[in-house]
């Protein structure tokens, strides 16, 4: 059909494998609609970080992994005998929302996501996850830096493989207090036109008041005259009765800024140099 754009979807996949046990200690595949600017990695690439190997590829079909999970082994490079042990007997599905109450790992910060997690319990055999993470800290710091997967911060992700299906909505929000409007303005932008027909529900609260509003998802900026600038805001988007987006956050009405002035001096004492650092802290509100 003329003018119709077919969106190409891939599964951006990252695997972290313990070189000693050849077991996958973490993995994810992110369902990703490619924009014109997005690149795609068609062959498995590997990267070694000492005791760990990292593998990544953009899969056309995630069943390449999920089928292997049922077999317990993933044969990445058959000619090189590179077999990865997959032992994920359990699986669950859940929705990850953007929440100030609970920090959840979502590989693309700021997006809500459906998640299907495959996991084992215990995560690392008889080794306590904390001891394992401390023992591999050096390699895991590199994983965090290069791939933004922080297993030290989210230790429960050890021994998991998760398929994320992020909701590609972008929210902008701003409190307003002027002669015409006391409330806020909000927009939810569906760049890829994936959620036509969705409905946006808004709930605003301050210490004593509550205000609700609804509009059809339309990419436009909406000014909501709630009568107060909210302290707490919840934005929910429903499509065909299913929640596809939920963000909850508090609005910052005052920012405290701390400044540090650092001074250093060196004192010679009995054949050694003693370095001293002074840090003067000042704070003010804006």
Map the footprint of another protein across residues 98-127, applying CB under 8 A.
Answer: 117, 119, 121, 123
Contacts (Cβ under 8 Å, ≥6 apart) of 202: 186, 211, 212, 213, 214, 224, 233, 234, 235
**H runs (alpha helix) in the chain:** 63-71, 129-135, 137-147
Structure tokens at 26: 């973490």
Identify the residue among 60, 61, 90, 177 touching another protein (CB under 8 A).
Answer: 90
Q: What minimum distance in Å lies between the beta carbon of 143 and another protein?
A: 16
- Which listed range, 36-44, 54-62, 212-220, 261-269, lies at the site for another protein (CB under 8 A)? 261-269
Secondary-structure percent of the chain, ordered helix, strand, coil, rounded to 5: 10, 50, 40
Q: What minimum distance in Å lies between the beta carbon of 249 and another protein?
A: 22
Residue 165 binds another protein (CB under 8 A): no
Identify the residue among 255, 265, 266, 284 touching another protein (CB under 8 A).
Answer: 265
Contact 54, 13 (CB under 8 A): no
Identify the residue among 21, 134, 148, 214 touching another protein (CB under 8 A).
Answer: 134
Q: What minimum distance in Å lies between the beta carbon of 114 and another protein?
A: 14
Structure tokens at 43: 């062959």
Q: What minimum distance in Å lies between the beta carbon of 152 and another protein?
A: 8
What x-and-dash track marks residues 180-219 binding another protein by CB under 8 A? ----------------------------------------
Nearer to another protein, 254 or 265 (CB): 265
String of b and e for 224-261 (b: at least 16 CB within 10 Å)? bebebbbeebbbbbbbeeeebbbbbbeeeeeeeeeeee
Residue 259 binds another protein (CB under 8 A): no
Residue 266 binds another protein (CB under 8 A): no
Nearer to another protein, 178 or 278 (CB): 278
Nearer to another protein, 61 or 92 (CB): 92
Taking the C-alpha atoms of residue 68 and residue 214, their distance in angstroms, rounded to an integer, is 44
* DSSP states of 114-163: EEEEEE-SSTTTTS-HHHHHHHTHHHHHHHHHHH---TTT-GGGTTEEEE
What x-and-dash track marks residues 11-40 binding another protein by CB under 8 A? ------------------------------
Residue 92 binds another protein (CB under 8 A): yes
Prior bond to 155 cis, omega within 30?
A: no
Q: Which residues bind another protein (CB under 8 A)?
A: 90, 92, 94, 117, 119, 121, 123, 128-131, 133-138, 155-156, 158, 265, 267, 269-270, 272, 274-279, 281
């Amino acid at each position: 059909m003329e003018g119709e754009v077919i969106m190409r979807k891939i599964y951006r996949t990252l695997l972290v494998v313990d070189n000693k046990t050849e077991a996958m200690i973490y993995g994810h595949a992110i369902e990703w609609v490619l924009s014109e600017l997005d690149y795609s990695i068609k062959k498995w690439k590997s990267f070694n970080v000492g005791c760990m190997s990292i593998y990544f590829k953009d899969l056309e079909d995630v069943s390449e992994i999920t089928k292997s999970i049922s077999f317990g082994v993933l044969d990445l490079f058959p000619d090189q005998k590179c077999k990865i042990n997959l032992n994920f007997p359990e699986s669950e599905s859940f929705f990850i929302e953007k929440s100030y109450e609970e920090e959840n790992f979502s590989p693309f910060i700021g997006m809500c996501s459906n998640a299907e997690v495959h996991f084992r319990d215990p995560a690392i055999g008889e080794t306590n996850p904390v001891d394992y993470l401390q023992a591999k800290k050096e390699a895991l710091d590199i994983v965090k830096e290069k791939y933004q997967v922080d297993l030290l911060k989210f230790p429960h992700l050890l021994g998991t493989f998760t398929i994320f299906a992020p909701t590609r909505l972008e929210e902008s929000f701003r409190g307003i207090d002027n002669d015409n409007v006391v409330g806020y303005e909000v927009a939810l932008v569906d760049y890829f036109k994936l959620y036509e027909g969705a409905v946006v529900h808004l709930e605003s609260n301050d210490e004593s008041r509550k205000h609700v509003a609804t509009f059809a998802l339309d990419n436009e900026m909406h000014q909501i005259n709630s009568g107060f600038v909210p302290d707490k805001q919840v934005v929910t988007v429903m499509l065909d009765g299913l929640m596809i987006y939920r963000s909850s956050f508090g609005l910052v009405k005052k920012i405290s800024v701390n400044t540090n002035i650092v001074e250093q001096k060196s004192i010679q004492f009995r054949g050694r140099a003693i370095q001293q650092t002074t840090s003067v802290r000042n704070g003010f509100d804006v």
